[in-house]
Structure 1
C-alpha cells in the first residue's frame, strides 16, 4: 500500500526496558536509546492510501490516525515499531486492520490545524468503546531542525513487528527522511498510553513535528523464514 502521512506530531517518554519488553512479539526485543526504552504518542493525517502505486481509495484512504507505539529490534539489528493501539474514525478500515492483526480502535477524532489566532497543530480523539480520550498539540519550531540521534532513532523506522496467527511478522515500509523540527507542547491531556497499559508522567522528553512523507508498505515476512 502507498500513502502519504502529513502533519505528524511525535511525543515520546522514557520507560523502563522491562515495561516495553512485556509487549514485544516473540523474536524481537525492546529497542533502547540512552539506556531506556521509549513509548510514543503520535498523530498524523493519512492521505490517499491505495494499493500498490495506484490512486488512493476514495473516502476510506484518507483519515486521521493517532497511535501509541513502542520500538523493536530483531537479532540481526532490523528495527521496527510495535503498535499498542491505532485510533481511527473509519470503521471499515478498523475492522479490516484488526482482521490482519493490527490493533486499530474505532474512535471519533479531530485534526487541529494551526491558524493566526492559535499556531498549535495537534489531534483530539475519543474512543466509542471505553471512552478513553486524548488531546495534544504543539507549536513547531521551524527554525530548529531535529537531526539529533534520539530524534532519528524515534522516527527513522522502516517497518513494523506484529503478531498474526501465532507468528511474528515484519512488514517493511519505505520512505524518505522526515522533514523534522523540534516542537513546543501547548496541549497535552492523554489517556491512551495508560489505556495501553503503560504509565508515564510529566511532559514528554521529545516533542517533534513533520509536514510529512510519502510512504510504501511492502510484503510481510515471517520471523524465522518465509513470507
Structure 2
C-alpha cells in the first residue's frame, strides 16, 4: 500500500460508541438527521492512493470499505453561538473512506461531499480543504419510506440516489457496522498539510433499512471502482447532535 503510516506499526484506538477524547474547545456544532448509510468493501491498495499523507486505510478483519451516506444537516452553528438561519440547514450526500494515523486515531476521509447550499460549499472548501460539490438534493420522508436524490450542478451528471423502507424496530449494529460508524474525527489536507478534525456526539441509534433502489455513481466519480454488488450494510439513524473541535496538524 502506498499511504502514509504502515498497518500494525502503531497503537490503534479501540472502536468505541462514544468519543475516547473529550473536546477542549468547540469550533462548530450541527445536527445530522435522517441518515442512510450504504457500505461496500473496497480494495485497500486503491484506497491508500486516495488518502492524505500521514494516513493509511483502516482495516476491519483485513478489509477496508467505502461509504455512501445521505442525510440532512440542521442547526449549523459556530462555537457556542446560535444556529445559522437558512444557510445552516441543507441536504448532504458524501462518499467516505476509513483512515488511521500514526497516533492510532481512526477517522474518515471524504472523497466528495454534495451539498445543496452554495455558501457552505465555498466556505468548507476554502477553510478546510474539503471536497464539497454544489448539487441539487431532494429529500423525502413519508411514513416508513425515505428517499434522497442528488445531482451535481457542474454538468457532470454525477450524483447518488437511494429509496428505502425504514424498519420501526431498533437495530443493534454488528462489529463491522460499529467500525464504520463510530468515527471520532476526519483526516484531510489543506495547503499541503494533513490535519485531523475531532468530533463528538451521543451514541448512535439505528434501524435496518430495506433498499428499494439506489444509484451510487458518486463513488466512481470520487476515483474508486464502482461497486459490482449490493451494499454489505444498509442502516438508518434518526440523527445526533455533533460538535467539532479545532483541527490538529499531522504534517
Write the distance in 2 (CA, Å) between the matches of 1:144 and 1:93: 33
Answer whether contact 2:108 2:185 (CA < 8 A) is retained: yes
Deviation at 1:144, TM superposition (A): 4.6
The residue number in structure 1 matching 2:66 is 39
Write the distance in 1 (CA, Å) between the matches of 2:232 and 2:196: 28
The residue number in structure 2 matching 1:190 is 216
The residue number in structure 1 matching 2:109 is 82
**Which deviations, in whole Å up to 9, do the C-alpha atoms of 1:132-172 show, x marking residues without a partner?**
13211222223251321111111111110000111001000
Question: Is residue 146 of structure 1 aligned with residue 161 of structure 2?
Answer: no
Classify the secondary structure of the residue corresponding to 1:38.
Answer: strand
The residue number in structure 1 matching 2:147 is 122
Deviation at 1:215, TM superposition (A): 0.4
Write the distance in 1 (CA, Å) between the matches of 2:167 and 2:63: 26
Deviation at 1:184, TM superposition (A): 1.3
Q: TM-score, normalised by structure 1?
A: 0.94
Deviation at 1:198, TM superposition (A): 1.0
Write the distance in 2 (CA, Å) between the matches of 1:217 and 1:137: 30
Gaps of 5+ in 1: none
The residue number in structure 2 matching 1:172 is 198
Write the distance in 2 (CA, Å) between the matches of 1:137 and 1:120: 7
The residue number in structure 1 matching 2:50 is 23
The residue number in structure 1 matching 2:138 is 110
The residue number in structure 2 matching 1:99 is 126
Write the distance in 2 (CA, Å) between the matches of 1:181 and 1:38: 20
The residue number in structure 1 matching 2:184 is 158
Answer whether contact 2:93 2:160 (CA < 8 A) is retained: no
Question: Is residue 215 of structure 1 aligned with residue 242 of structure 2?
Answer: yes
Q: TM-score, normalised by structure 2?
A: 0.85
Classify the secondary structure of the residue corresponding to 2:203.
Answer: coil
Deviation at 1:21, TM superposition (A): 0.6
Deviation at 1:76, TM superposition (A): 2.5
Number of aligned residues = 221
Answer whether contact 1:9 1:122 (CA < 8 A) is retained: no
Deviation at 1:61, TM superposition (A): 0.3
Write the distance in 1 (CA, Å) between the matches of 2:34 and 2:150: 16
The residue number in structure 2 matching 1:52 is 79
Write the distance in 2 (CA, Å) between the matches of 1:207 and 1:17: 21
Write the distance in 2 (CA, Å) between the matches of 1:8 and 1:146: 16
